């Protein structure tokens, strides 16, 4: 088949370089343009030495790049950019995968409340498909615009999907998602809180009073079992790791529900979700560099009703961002879902 020509807009951050790393070995993709306002004219391999030998392209200013010649464009940009630029690309027949938050939340007032700016692309939003690959695979196949999920929403939602589909959660009880992320999740910008001396040998919660991923996770829950969405408590933590994300989610299930069986059946055809044997405890290092989410479930070890502990791990830059974006591209273009994503995790 012909190579799929793609561009990456805003490729100087950790998500952008991860996307370029994955696309460099994709058998069906040609990266034809990479843009950055701040680094226009700089060679990709000069800016990212890890990509020496993989690319001979230079960063282009977005205003000078002819993105309309591409089959698909990835936006690895801060929020506000994709909603401004994606509609013109869609009008020219270019398909878009947006790794920012611009098209993730369906309710515009909610988006504006959490992101603090006016939303300007309601027509594009109306056709955007939420790109949680294992949930919306069929809709993604024909989508022109895919909203790639956030890292926490992916890690929290994947173990919940089969339970929500089965209407298995008790509606009167809370869902508690206790989550930890490596420092790369904060992005590549300079900030005191992510300096080595600040984040190393340290552990802290943040966003306890409200995090932008909270309405995104609640939206997914509500789409499957609406009466439990407002019971979600989500607390993220920063850990002294570079890569990695761990979500421990506590749920109260209906009597007689076997979450192990539900998860194994639901994900039997999903190459990037690994349901581990009963009694397992997944580790973040077991998924480093790979587009895999490993999930294990255990019953709470005391007599407190049908309380279960869902544990999920992923690389926040891969399955939590760039890897899932490539997975969505594969689905959109009827490629094998694993194309370019079959790397084995790194150890140590």
Known catalytic residues are 151
Do 119 and 108 contact (CB within 8 A), yes or no?
yes
Radius of gyration of the chain (CA): 20
The H or E element containing residue 264 is helix 259-266
Residues whose CB falls within 8 Å of the CB of residue 189, separated by 6 or more in sequence, listed in order: 13
Beta bridge partners of 204: 238
Q: How far is CA 271 from the centre of its chain?
A: 16
Pairing of strands 4-9, 72-75: parallel
Residues whose CB falls within 8 Å of the CB of residue 269, separated by 6 or more in sequence, listed in order: none
Beta bridge partners of 31: 6
Beta bridge partners of 233: 176
Please give the backbone phi and psi of residue 149, each rounded to the nearest 5 degrees, phi first: -70, 165
DSSP label of 320: I
| Residue whose structure tokens are 């998860």 | 263
Residues whose CB falls within 8 Å of the CB of residue 15, separated by 6 or more in sequence, listed in order: 76, 99, 187, 317, 321, 322
Integer distance in angstroms from the first to the last C-alpha of the chain?
A: 37
Helices (H), 33-192: 44-47, 81-91, 108-115, 122-127, 133-141, 151-165
Three-state secondary structure call for residue 193: helix
């Amino acid at each position: 088949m012909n190579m799929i020509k793609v561009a990456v807009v805003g490729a100087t951050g950790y998500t952008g370089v991860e996307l370029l790393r994955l696309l460099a070995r994709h058998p069906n993709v040609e990266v034809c343009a990479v843009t950055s306002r701040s680094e226009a004219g700089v060679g990709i391999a000069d800016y990212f030495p890890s990509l020496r030998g993989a690319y001979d392209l230079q960063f282009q200013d977005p205003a000078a790049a002819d993105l309309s010649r591409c089959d698909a464009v990835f936006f690895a940009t801060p929020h506000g950019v994709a909603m401004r630029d994606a509609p013109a690309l869609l009008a020219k027949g270019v398909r878009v995968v947006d790794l920012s938050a611009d098209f993730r939340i369906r309710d515009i007032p909610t988006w504006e409340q959490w992101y603090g700016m006016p939303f300007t692309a309601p027509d594009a939003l109306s056709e955007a498909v939420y790109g949680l690959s294992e949930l919306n695979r069929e809709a993604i196949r024909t989508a022109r615009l895919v909203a790639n999920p956030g890292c926490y929403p992916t890690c929290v939602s994947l173990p919940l999907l089969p339970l929500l589909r089965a209407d298995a959660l008790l509606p009167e009880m809370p869902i508690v998602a206790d989550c930890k992320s490596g420092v790369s999740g904060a992005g590549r910008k300079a900030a005191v809180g992510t300096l080595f001396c600040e984040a190393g040998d340290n552990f802290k919660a943040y966003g306890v009073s409200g995090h932008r991923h909270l309405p995104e996770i609640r939206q997914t829950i509500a789409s499957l079992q609406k009466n439990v969405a407002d019971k979600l408590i989500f607390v993220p933590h920063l850990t002294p790791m570079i890569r990695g994300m761990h979500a421990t989610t506590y749920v109260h299930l209906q009597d007689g529900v076997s979450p192990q069986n539900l998860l194994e059946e639901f994900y039997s055809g999903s190459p990037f979700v690994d349901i581990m044997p009963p009694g397992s405890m997944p580790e973040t290092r077991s998924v480093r560099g790979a587009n895999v989410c490993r999930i294990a479930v255990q019953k709470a070890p005391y007599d407190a009703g049908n309380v279960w502990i869902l544990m999920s791990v992923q690389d926040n830059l891969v399955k939590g961002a760039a890897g899932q974006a490539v997975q969505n591209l594969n689905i959109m273009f009827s490629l094998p879902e694993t194309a370019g994503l079959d790397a084995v995790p790194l150890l140590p």
